Chain A
């Protein structure tokens, strides 16, 4: 039986290959879609669970340099600054529970430091911080001091629990939980330490000329609002931020909703593409096996005559389909994992979103779901050809000529 299955596939090489490729592409799209969608949803959920700031006050002109979703999800990629007095101005707003400033330092790389890849340096006020405390622990934040840092979950280049930043060694006192954002590639230190590093940074002089000494500057202010009276607190905080004259508010929930809406369209498009590919694969499989049974009537009748039951022939045809679909699924899953990185890159070029890769169990569940979908698609496409086999008359073998 195996020999006959392989023989038939060999005989229809081009057709078989095209079907396997079609199945592989459909599976690839579904797997890629599932992995990216699952990763983003997990990232968004994690980002929500981890709490953080409800509102972020940023310098008024910051949005000229960087988008709101980028600010929320990519940590602190921009050198944007405003006077530190803004913290007091905003802090007095009604319904604002906690206020904490941050100072965005430079982007570190292996040229200056022991870190691997691009790593952002962020200064936090250890006395008021509630964002990093939620990710790494309040004790770790309290332990920062002058020579301590907390690293993001994806930061590399930590040796013997120390990290080198511009020839200075810093003790790693904690690691932040994974957020799925660029925050994972950030290093957090005391705000005054980061200000001090930045003050002497070559190329940053123009910032200090424009805004003043770093010791009097902050890059953003994180606000935690009263959950029981959120709407009123938000209105009050927004008003205070706007009244400060130097800051603009970024409301986390609005940015998350905006980001979700953008992603929804992209994912809808991907889902439609995946469904269309699945339908194309179904039609191709149907056409291939319908014509196969029709074209091979004589051959199949001969097999009936030499002892094959209807069930045997059905196994033969289903076996051919199984090999094609099986190969397509395996290749498609592998390609799906590869394409995931490419798709993420493309999406991140235009959009900012949190992403936490699916774990092995979730990935396996996704693969299983895709396999089930394609088993169903294959079953659907083969029903009619298999019914045709039931009508094959073995006596046809007596009347036919040679079988090509």
Chain B
């Protein structure tokens, strides 16, 4: 299968801090992928490297086999909607579509106009005066008019109200289903992602924690409840993602590689949200009692 986005040992450093480190992943073409992680996990950094805004400090990133940094040929294949859907606020939607036509060799202005017309967005009003949801739709229309093979969206719905969020995601899904565009969408709104995405990338603490098709991931993970558990291996369990213990009982989120052999464990199916939260939960969060001057 063709790979839309591929990274190998990718890293980006700001000063002494790695914003993203040892990031290796494949995104097969045709997928709708969710990029999940808490703020500061490196989601935007990864997307910016994928769209060629940033140059990697380590490793490589390839989009359909091409390095995107400083490469307009690769750029033509990528549609990008940046965080907060930035647009020239004094431009009208019509002017923005014209601008796209001037700046891109491949440009489907009709597609953009048709979309915006269907959404009832006025063509001659400065986009700064539109609602947040309408602005996001304009930004999406501009990205789609490039007829990209890979569409990257950085928190596109974060600042929208629930209704606008739903409309945006519907518009997105409707249009990429027709064209077979690969989508990588970063967000921390898990419920939205569960509805639209079929592939998952979890970033946490500048590293990739989990990659794979949603179906497989959900099928592979189980919640086990059983007697207090030490460190002994459990048959059928590849790794323990997260464990919580009471005096007599342990609850584990595990990734399986076969049927659970030990009958003392009760296995429960999990939702995508459980899986994601399991990988994001941070066991050893550093405390800052000293800095606050309060007793621990």
Please determine whether chains A and B interact with each other in the same assembly. no
List B residues at the A interface (Cβ < 8 Å): none
